[in-house]
Homo-oligomer: A and B are copies of this chain.
Amino acid sequence: MARPRRPAWQVERAKNRIFRATLELFNKHGYDAVTIRRIARRAGCSPATIYNYYSDKDALYLDILTEGFTILNRLLLARPHTADPLQRLRGYAAEFYRFSLEYPYYYDLMFSFHVPKYLDYAGTAAEKAAFAEKAVALKNIELLLDAFYELGWDGEPPEIPAEKALTLLGLCHGIISLHRSGIWAELDADFDTLYFSAVDNYLQRAVRGKKQVRTAGGAPGFTDG
């Protein structure tokens, strides 16, 4: 026979050179600047070579996406741990906000664009990378979940904290996203205080409503559509 495959670590190293080149371009010049040809130039290979390591550009973005969730996770975990879950959630919200300002490219990729995510890769060659992406993304949500569990009370149905966590995430993202989309650029609302007071109000509500949450009976009047 002839020429066995390179050992896995060598393949990984070559793949990593492409990934790092992509990352540098992405960090410095943003989403649109990441083209196969520029990546190739920076990685010191030909454009076609990239397709030996990534099935297509989307698969490459899947790795970038994972990096984004990893950065966010590192930021969230880097905060000094506060025992009070409410205070912790406030911290998370503040960190999330800061992340959106410091890493706007990542933010859009992670939360705004329709970049292929885990489910889109089920059964494909990139499934493993997609699984990693999902896992890292979930780690962030789990931080919220933990805090809301602590904030809850004994016997609280387990779907309640999940609902609260997702709502908080939605609230934070919604305000950031609308701000970033430029929709209310003309309204000159003070974005900063809007964000923080909205989060604060929501959290206050989540804690004050402890005993009466769910007495509303599941959103009456909304079935009218």
List A1-28 residues whose CB lies under 8 Å from chain B. Answer: none
List A171-187 residues whose CB lies under 8 Å from chain B. Answer: 171-175, 177-178, 180-187
Q: Tell me if A221 and B182 are in contact (CB < 8 A).
A: no
- Cross-interface CB contact of A184 among B98, B166, B218, cutoff 8 Å: B166
- Whether A137 is near chain B, meaning CB under 8 Å from some CB there, is yes
- Interface 9-mer from A51-59, A146-154, A191-199: A191-199
Number of copies: 2
Q: Tell me if A87 and B187 are in contact (CB < 8 A).
A: no
- Cross-interface CB contact of A94 among B141, B200, B201, B225, cutoff 8 Å: B225
Q: Tell me if B169 and A174 are in contact (CB < 8 A).
A: yes
Q: How far is the CA of A94 from the CA of B223 in the complex (A)?
A: 9
- Whether A108 is near chain B, meaning CB under 8 Å from some CB there, is yes
Q: A115-B181, A117-B181 are in contact. List 11 more A-B contacts (CB 8 A).
A: A90-B221, A117-B185, A118-B182, A167-B175, A167-B201, A173-B177, A196-B219, A196-B222, A197-B218, A199-B222, A200-B222
Binding site for B on A (CB under 8 A): 87, 90-91, 94, 98, 108, 110-115, 117-120, 134, 137-138, 141, 159, 162-163, 166-167, 169-175, 177-178, 180-187, 189, 193-194, 196-202, 204-205, 209, 216, 218-222, 224-225
